[in-house]
Amino acid sequence: MLRPNLAAKQFLDGRPVIVAGGALALVALVLSAVSLGEVVQARGRERNYAEALAGLDARRGELTTKVAEANRKLAGVGWKKLGTETAAMEGVVARHKLVWSQLLVDLERAIPWDVRLTSIAPAFGKDGSLLVSLTGIATGREAWLRLLAHLFTDPKFSDPMPNSEEAPSATNSAGYRFQLTVHYWPGGRP
């Protein structure tokens, strides 16, 4: 059954629309405030980055000037002369680092009793080794070969290379003469 509407105008309830509109306006106001705060913070960070960038540009300019000055100074250096002086100094340092007593102890340990050394001449290698030229006299060929075998097996020596040998003769009555070179590694073979 239909009920008749006796009101002069139709009643519309606008409260839900007003409440929803107010809530939306409040949300829009809060979001606008948050966005405004983020914009202010972003501007502050942008200003800080701009200042840091200006400082870095100034530092780059200073470093560029220093590099140009250093390049001008380095252009006047005689590199070949410096290289030869450096090599000479490396040789001096290597000679000072040689401990003769340790070399002689290691040689004494490696040399058989029937071999006598008459000359020891060291030369320094770039790889840290010491090339030692040995001249000596052995009682016979067996003693000479024993010396080579000892030098091959000793951990402080490597690559013995005979340069000359001379058997006893009318002009050489002292014994079996020899010359050899061997690498000496003060800290042991690498």
Give 27-51 as a DSSP string: HHHHHHHHHHHHHHHHHHHHHHHHH
Which of 29, 54, 70 delimits the end of a domain? 70
Torsion of CA 54, 55, 58, 62, to 10 degrees: -160
The answer, yes or no, to whether residue 124 has pLDDT greater than 80, is no
Contact of 186 with 158, CB cutoff 8 Å:
no
Which of 27, 54, 70 delimits the end of a domain? 70
108 with 171, same domain: the answer is yes
pLDDT band at 11 (very low <50, low <70, confident <90, very high): low
127 with 52, same domain: the answer is no
105 with 40, same domain: the answer is no
Domain that holds residue 59: 18-70
175 with 103, same domain: the answer is yes
61 with 103, same domain: the answer is no
**pTM greater than 0.95:** no
Model pLDDT, residue 172: 63
The answer, yes or no, to whether residue 13 has pLDDT greater than 70, is yes
**Per residue in 64-118, pLDDT tens?**
999 999 888 888 777 787 778 777 777 666 666 667 788 888 889 888 888 999 9
**Per residue in 135-160, pLDDT tens?**
999 888 888 889 999 998 988 888 89
DSSP tag of 128: S
